[in-house]
């Protein structure tokens, strides 16, 4: 297999984000090397992707949308994935890879990816073929196997799940599980101090998958990575930004893109658009567009002043309008409205709380009304 990057997850998002970045960088000699992808679920769609990736060295990525107001329709080829494995079938090979050439681990395991499974126990550490059920347990077993043979070899981990401070979060989940399994103190030190757990933020709308493998994505792409000592980078790429202030990027995405989506979903739930309406249709509706622009300009942007981020927020909004008006993307408001109450708490409540705490003289009527409503999908 002999690939320096091991990736857990075969989603269309990773194909059009991390994997594509590495592919483009490889063409310029600016990548760590190839990627071995590991399927961790039993879904039929994932199995088809893994089979296709195992049979071919390339897959299509279509970049479709708006950039600076102009339509983009570009056809690219991802070529960084050099091996495709299925965890339940190929676990010995996955273990061997971690214990030899791997320098960097990437993951994107979905909303439930960090949940543990009570069936996983410390007996898995000594089994070559028994496969842990949860992703954190898989990772713990693999890291222990590596520690046993390569305790000094550098290793960086890049969880890409949409969790705030995802590197710190995953480290604590894995370390807590290790403590529950009564693992040695030396290994606990290796886990916490030797392995580099990287916090990052991924941002790209990947609108559709291609069969049997491939994806359609918007032109906009960002991978904001928090700088750390001893961190190994997968590649150099224009969409990768190293930063000491990751929270600045998180605020922009959460309070402008995500909050904007949630506000449009709130108005859709109130009956302002037809049941199958998309984000683009909402942006083209005069009333809703005026409302959303007012939310951004009058109720959210003043909060960015607290952090000295107004200029960055205004720049982000310029690109964001293109993203929401993407003529190739049918992003249904019904989908965005799923788990609506929880999303409002995550995306709206901090904006209102910060305005209150800092004594901002802004009314924020639309955000207060949205938070107070009981509308749901």
Distance CA 360, CA 358 (A): 6
Distance CA 4, CA 123 (A): 28
Give 153's Cβ-side CA count (13 Å radius).
17
Decide: 135 and 109 in contact? Cβ < 8 Å. yes
Which string of b and e fits 137-148 if b means at least 16 CB within 10 Å?
bbbbbbbbbbbe
| Predicted local confidence at residue 292, as pLDDT | 98
Distance CA 255, CA 320 (A): 12
| Predicted local confidence at residue 241, as pLDDT | 98
Residue 156 has a CB neighbour count (10 Å cut-off) of 21
| Predicted local confidence at residue 56, as pLDDT | 87
pLDDT in tens, 53-74: 999 879 999 999 999 989 999 9
Closest to 90 (Cα-Cα) out of 51, 140, 146: 51
The ranges assigned to domains in the chain are: 5-244, 247-372
CA distance to 14, 116, 291, 348, per residue, from 298 (Å): 35, 42, 10, 14
Distance CA 321, CA 341 (A): 25
Give, for all 377 residues of the chain, the pLDDT tens digit: 689 999 999 999 999 999 999 999 999 999 999 999 999 887 888 889 999 999 987 999 999 999 998 999 999 999 999 999 999 999 999 999 999 989 999 999 876 789 999 999 999 998 888 999 999 999 999 999 999 999 999 999 999 998 889 999 999 999 999 999 999 999 999 999 999 999 999 999 998 889 999 999 999 999 999 999 999 999 999 999 999 999 999 999 999 999 999 999 999 999 999 999 999 999 999 999 999 999 999 999 999 999 999 999 999 999 999 999 999 988 999 999 999 999 999 999 999 999 999 999 999 999 999 999 998 87
Question: How is residue 157 written in tokens?
Answer: 């981990």
Q: Coil, strand, or helix at residue 12?
A: helix
Which string of b and e fits 329-351 if b means at least 16 CB within 10 Å?
bebebeebbeebeebbeebbeeb
| Predicted local confidence at residue 1, as pLDDT | 61
| Predicted local confidence at residue 223, as pLDDT | 98
DSSP letter (8 states) at residue 112 = T
pLDDT in tens, 164-194: 899 999 999 999 999 999 999 999 999 999 9
Distance CA 50, CA 212 (A): 9
Architecture of domain 5-244: 3-Layer(aba) Sandwich (3.40)
| Predicted local confidence at residue 369, as pLDDT | 97
CATH of the structural domain 247-372, one choice from 1.10.1040.10, 3.40.50.1820, 1.10.238.10, 3.40.50.2020: 1.10.1040.10
Edge-first strand order for the sheet with 240-243 is 200-203, 222-226, 240-243
Question: Where do runs of H (alpha helix) occur along the chain?
Answer: 12-16, 18-26, 44-55, 87-98, 135-149, 166-180, 185-189, 246-252, 259-269, 279-284, 286-294, 301-304, 310-324, 333-336, 340-347, 349-357, 365-372
Residue 361 has a CB neighbour count (10 Å cut-off) of 6
């Amino acid at each position: 297999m002999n690939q320096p990057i091991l990736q857990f997850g075969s989603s269309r998002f990773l194909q059009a984000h991390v994997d594509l970045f590495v592919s483009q960088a490889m063409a310029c000699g600016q990548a760590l090397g190839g990627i071995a992808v590991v399927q961790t679920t039993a879904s039929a769609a994932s199995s088809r992707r893994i089979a296709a990736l195992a049979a071919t060295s390339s897959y299509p990525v279509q970049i479709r949308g708006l950039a600076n107001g102009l339509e983009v329709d570009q056809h690219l080829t991802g070529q960084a994935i050099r091996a495709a494995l299925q965890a339940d079938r190929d676990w010995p090979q996955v273990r061997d890879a971690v214990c030899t050439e791997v320098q960097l681990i990437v993951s994107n395991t979905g909303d439930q990816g960090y949940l543990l499974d009570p069936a996983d126990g410390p007996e898995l550490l000594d089994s070559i073929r028994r496969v842990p059920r949860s992703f954190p347990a898989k990772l713990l077993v693999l890291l222990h196997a590596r520690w046993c043979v390569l305790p000094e070899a550098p290793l960086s981990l890049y969880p890409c799940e949409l969790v705030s401070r995802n590197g710190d979060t995953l480290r604590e989940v894995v370390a807590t599980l290790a403590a529950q399994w009564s693992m040695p103190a030396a290994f606990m030190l290796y886990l916490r101090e030797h392995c580099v757990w990287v916090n990052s933020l991924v941002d790209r709308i990947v609108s559709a998958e291609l069969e049997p493998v491939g994806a359609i994505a918007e032109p906009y792409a960002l991978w904001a990575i928090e700088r750390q000592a001893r961190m190994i980078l997968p590649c150099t790429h224009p969409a990768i930004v190293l930063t000491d202030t990751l929270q600045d990027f998180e605020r922009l995405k959460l309070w402008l893109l995500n909050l904007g989506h949630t506000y449009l979903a709130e108005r859709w739930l109130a009956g302002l658009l037809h049941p199958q309406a998309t984000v683009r249709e909402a942006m083209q509706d005069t009333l809703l567009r005026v409302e959303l622009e007012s939310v951004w300009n009058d109720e959210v942007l003043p909060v960015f002043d607290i952090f000295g981020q107004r200029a960055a927020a205004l720049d982000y909004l310029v690109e964001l309008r293109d993203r929401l008006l993407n003529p190739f993307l049918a992003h249904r408001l019904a989908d965005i409205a799923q788990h609506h109450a929880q999303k409002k708490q995550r995306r709206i409540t901090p904006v209102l709380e910060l305005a209150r705490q800092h004594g901002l003289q802004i009314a924020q009527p639309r955000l207060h009304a949205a938070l107070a409503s009981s509308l749901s999908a």
